[in-house]
Structure 1
């Protein structure tokens, strides 16, 4: 009898009805599969300054990439880095094209209905920033103005919900948003502090100011529903790496700030 790869079966089962899934929970043990194969597929969203980008040698790096390497090492597994866009983050996990996603993905109630999250492993602030001459201090100030966002992000959702009447220009990833700002196509953006730093570095003195902070986001590693053993392992890995200082040291290397002291105790 031909042996069928478990991941292939799971991917094919994704389109089946709820009744068909009743027999599948016993298969939901990606941790065992990873440890047996000694290989783990971890998805990262490339083109996000400080989190996931290409270095001078065109090698992937950033805090998310390095976190993925640390996780793979602790698993005793070879890392297969699955490079995706922001918009592909949730679908990549839903369709099991990766075992784990470490891609600056904020933990939200909407996303928790589709995929599972670990406890937070990092944070980021999302902000509205613009040229100094723009008088914007809240969402009301965005009405009638053009503002750029990266599609399928919390920024996109929050501006859409709270700034009705603004002209929202959506980009597929942070890299194209940065290009638009640097080339002068936009004077106002909703983004994160790391992306703003990259924009200002390239604008050569003509910097954007932070107008207001929209929200501090807790970032979680994501995995498919039902992978409770893998989720437990990842949660323990985050706690251990945070308490040892290893996770903070790596994060600070890229972001020049410490992780919040209460990070692993936050309710999400």
Structure 2
């Protein structure tokens, strides 16, 4: 019996040691000298590509800042609203920086940092549309990227809404711009950028879904990494770098952000 308990104890210790070794993602990043960050390329001004197909945007530059702060090489991976959390859960990326809003449902799967950008979610459409709430959507076809906070919120608020669920934000925007959809549910800053790029298309805000600051995301048990990222956000809030990014990409200063 003593041998049995000793064997079980050894197995438990080994499992605990393996879990500990696996758990400290921050130390792993520093040891390997590489951080894998998932970023969007379908949600300007947070992430898109320039004429030379080079990634540009708020989240792109912020990811570069994070890697520099860690003192490691950056390995960027393109993600969409639908696969942001799966990429974390399957360990394809270490960090997600993709204008991601926090919800209690998501917080059961991953861990969020403090917010780094101030935005809200809303539904946009032409001035002629009489929609002014989720209850008045009626048969209007509303485009929203699958798995995003806005798509989930619309579905919850209006289960019978005619939602056109696209694979990413760019496809949702294209559906509205080309007339395949009557309305668009998206981030306020994304709508602002789309309006500038498409001056002949109306982007009137029909109703606000909710305030939705952007957070970074990491795997659920990565407490050391999320603590470092929180400190990074705090430091760059004080030194003006986050305010610079807000002015550069969002055309506004950084307002005080809520805390977790």
Same fold (TM over 0.5): yes
Distance 2:130 2:227 in 1: 47
The number of residues matched between the two structures is 246
Aligned twin of 1:25: 19
Structure 2 residues without counterparts, runs of 5 or longer: 1-13
Higher mean alpha-carbon deviation, 68-77 vs 190-199, is at 190-199
TM-score, scaled to structure 1: 0.87
Aligned twin of 1:153: 148
CA deviation string 1:200-234 (max 9, x = no partner) = 33443231211111111122111112111111111
Q: How far off is 1:105 after superposition?
A: 0.9
Aligned twin of 2:7: none
Aligned twin of 1:60: 55
Q: How far off is 1:24 after superposition?
A: 3.8
Q: Which has the larger radius of gyration?
A: 2
Aligned twin of 1:238: 233
Distance 1:166 1:228 in 2: 39
Structure 1 residues without counterparts, runs of 5 or longer: 1-19
Aligned twin of 1:11: none
- Does 1:215 pair with 2:210? yes
Q: How far off is 1:45 after superposition?
A: 2.1
RMSD of equivalent CA atoms:
1.7
Contact 2:140 2:182 in 1 (8 A): no
CA deviation string 1:76-109 (max 9, x = no partner) = 1010001112111001111111111111111111
Aligned twin of 1:127: 122
User: What are the residue-to-residue correspondences of 1:114-263 with 2, within 5 Å?
Assistant: 114-261=109-256, 263=257
Distance 1:21 1:107 in 2: 32
Q: How far off is 1:123 after superposition?
A: 2.4
TM-score, scaled to structure 2: 0.89
Q: For 1:184, what is the secondary structure of its paired residue?
A: coil
The list of structure 1 runs, each at least 4 consecutive aligned residues, that deviate by more than 4 angstroms after superposition, is 20-23
Distance 2:183 2:101 in 1: 22
Q: How far off is 1:22 after superposition?
A: 4.8
Distance 1:112 1:206, change over 3 A: closer
Q: For 1:226, what is the secondary structure of its paired residue?
A: coil
Distance 1:255 1:21, change over 3 A: farther
Contact 1:143 1:164 in 2 (8 A): no
Distance 1:230 1:35 in 2: 11
Q: For 1:175, what is the secondary structure of its paired residue?
A: helix
